[in-house]
């Protein structure tokens, strides 16, 4: 059976796996990336693209920011809208100049893949039947088929990075008694659309309404991304384009001279919402990162950013190991990451619970939510808390 040797085997060519491969390359550490999907799928899959300031800084600092600087939409605030009125959270004023950048995840994936291949790095797309072996020994390796017609090959490595998402094979490769899973499923979902219409706002609008949450976002100056809170069991077939726009108009309504622009809907779907954390994020020579270790509800726009934060820690730890043989930072990877993970989970839960209607909520609960929104938008301390978390906690705050 053919065997290839590398220092770090990376399973998954999403943001976590590709950023990790790039950071390791910059330190002279060899890695091989294995991905079950095709390159085309990875580069075309539409996902959220809100980048924290720290993520943007890291991409720029490591030579990945050319297209990001050219095409990214820099935002210096968001709007919270409730009771027919909008309230701006000013990031510049509240955080000392930090902001967010809208840059579609699939565009970032294109940048990462190009950088990887331009540097001569290896990515195996369309791999089949991946399995991990020797995680608790000195002889760890990954067995896989390069494609369905090929024989098995083995990738021998010092360490394995599990960056293959929530439904990947890395997390289940850890013995069940070792892992503790913290899981919360929310009693609602998001109906999301892509529409060929310029965004009706230069910044994101988070709307609380008695009929449910709504969000106005964007992918580019000509493409709008919008969301509606709905029931998890909703049938997308029951949501005509006309009905979607009618509901968005109601929930995003403003008493001011503003109206939501409508256009052709080119994509729509329903996504459930949950929060998941697994502890620990490492076992033997396997280190989990990104969605393989945690899921956050999309309200706080943290999934991609948390994945980047994970691999930043992991790359630094692996760099220390290979340069000096020190294992202390590597052994503390899970503890270091989980401090940040739980802070992000807290913020994402808070944003979600503040802005969504929960089934069975009473009039008291609704008034309480409105009071919380009134406090956050009317208090500098409250607004600062939201702004600090939204633009991203400092990387060193772990």
Query: What's the mean pLDDT in 282-289?
Result: 98
Residue 137: per-residue pLDDT = 86
Asked if residue 389 lies in contact with residue 300, where contact means CB atoms within 8 angstroms, the answer is yes
- Is residue 396 scored above 80 in pLDDT? no
Query: What's the mean pLDDT in 313-339?
Result: 95
Query: What's the mean pLDDT in 237-263?
Result: 95
The catalytic site residues sit at 75, 206, 298, 302, 390
How confident is the prediction for the chain on average, in pLDDT?
Answer: 95
Q: Which fold has domain 3-49+104-179+280-351?
A: FAD/NAD(P)-binding domain (3.50.50)
pLDDT-derived band at 235 (thresholds 50, 70, 90) equals very high
Query: What's the mean pLDDT in 23-44?
Result: 96
pLDDT-derived band at 1 (thresholds 50, 70, 90) equals low
User: In this structure, what token pair is assigned to residue 365?
Assistant: 């609960």
The number of residues making up the chain comes to 398
The Cα–Cα gap between 41 and 50 comes to 20
Global pTM?
A: 0.95
Residue 138: per-residue pLDDT = 84
- Is residue 3 scored above 90 in pLDDT? no
The Cα–Cα gap between 59 and 52 comes to 11
- Is residue 87 scored above 80 in pLDDT? yes
Question: What is the residue extent of each domain of the chain?
Answer: 3-49+104-179+280-351, 186-273+358-391
Residue 257: per-residue pLDDT = 85
Residue 149: per-residue pLDDT = 72
Q: How does strand 223-230 pair with strand 50-51?
A: unpaired
Residue 309: per-residue pLDDT = 97
Residue 49: per-residue pLDDT = 86
Residue 397: per-residue pLDDT = 41
pLDDT-derived band at 398 (thresholds 50, 70, 90) equals very low
- Is residue 214 scored above 70 in pLDDT? yes
- Is residue 16 scored above 80 in pLDDT? yes
- Is residue 263 scored above 80 in pLDDT? yes
CATH architecture entry for 186-273+358-391: 2-Layer Sandwich (3.30)
Query: What's the mean pLDDT in 183-199?
Result: 97
Q: Count CB atoms within 10 A of the CB of residue 378.
A: 10
Transcribe 219-241 into DSSP letters.
EETTEEEEEEEE-TT--GGG--H
Which long-range CB contacts under 8 A does 65-74 form with residues at least 24 apart? 66/111, 67/107, 67/110, 67/111, 68/101, 68/103, 68/108, 68/111, 71/103, 71/107, 71/220, 72/101, 72/102, 72/103, 73/101, 73/102, 73/103, 73/218, 73/220, 73/221, 74/99, 74/100, 74/101
pLDDT-derived band at 147 (thresholds 50, 70, 90) equals confident
């Amino acid at each position: 059976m053919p065997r290839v040797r590398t220092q770090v085997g990376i399973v998954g060519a999403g943001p976590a796996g590709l950023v990790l491969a790039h950071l390791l390359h910059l330190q002279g550490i060899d890695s091989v990336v294995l991905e079950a999907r095709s390159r085309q799928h990875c580069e075309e899959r539409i996902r959220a693209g809100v980048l924290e300031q720290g993520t943007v800084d890291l991409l720029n600092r490591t030579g990945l920011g050319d297209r990001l600087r050219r095409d990214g939409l820099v935002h210096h605030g968001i709007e919270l809208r409730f009771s027919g009125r909008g309230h701006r959270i000013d990031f510049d004023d509240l955080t000392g100049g930090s902001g967010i950048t809208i840059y579609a995840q699939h565009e970032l994936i294109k940048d990462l893949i190009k950088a990887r291949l331009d540097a001569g790095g290896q990515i195996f797309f369309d791999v089949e039947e991946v399995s991990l072996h020797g995680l608790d020994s000195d002889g760890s390796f990954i067995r896989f088929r390069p494609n369905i017609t090929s024989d098995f090959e083995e990738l021998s490595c010092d360490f394995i990075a599990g960056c293959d998402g929530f439904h990947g094979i890395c997390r289940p490769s850890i013995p069940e008694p070792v892992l503790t899973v913290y899981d919360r499923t929310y009693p609602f979902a998001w109906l999301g659309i892509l529409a060929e219409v310029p965004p009706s706002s230069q910044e994101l609008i988070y709307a609380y309404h008695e009929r449910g949450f709504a969000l106005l976002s964007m992918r580019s100056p000509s493409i709008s991304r919008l969301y509606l809170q709905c029931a998890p069991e909703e049938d997308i077939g029951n949501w005509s384009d006309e009905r979607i726009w009618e509901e968005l108009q109601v929930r995003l309504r403003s008493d001011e001279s503003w109206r939501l622009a409508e256009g052709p809907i080119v994509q729509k779907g329903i996504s459930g919402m949950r929060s998941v954390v697994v502890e620990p994020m490492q076992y033997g020579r396997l280190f989990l990162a990104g969605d393989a270790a945690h899921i956050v509800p999309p309200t706080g726009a943290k999934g991609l950013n948390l994945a980047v934060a994970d691999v930043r820690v992991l790359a630094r730890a692996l760099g220390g190991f290979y340069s000096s043989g020190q294992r202390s930072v590597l052994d503390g990877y899970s503890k270091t990451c989980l401090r940040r993970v739980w802070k992000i989970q807290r913020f994402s839960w808070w944003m979600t619970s503040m802005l969504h209607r929960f089934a069975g909520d009473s009039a008291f609960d609704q008034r309480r939510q409105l009071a919380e929104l009134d406090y956050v938008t009317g208090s500098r301390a409250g607004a600062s808390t939201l702004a600090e978390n939204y633009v991203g906690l400092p990387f060193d705050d772990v």
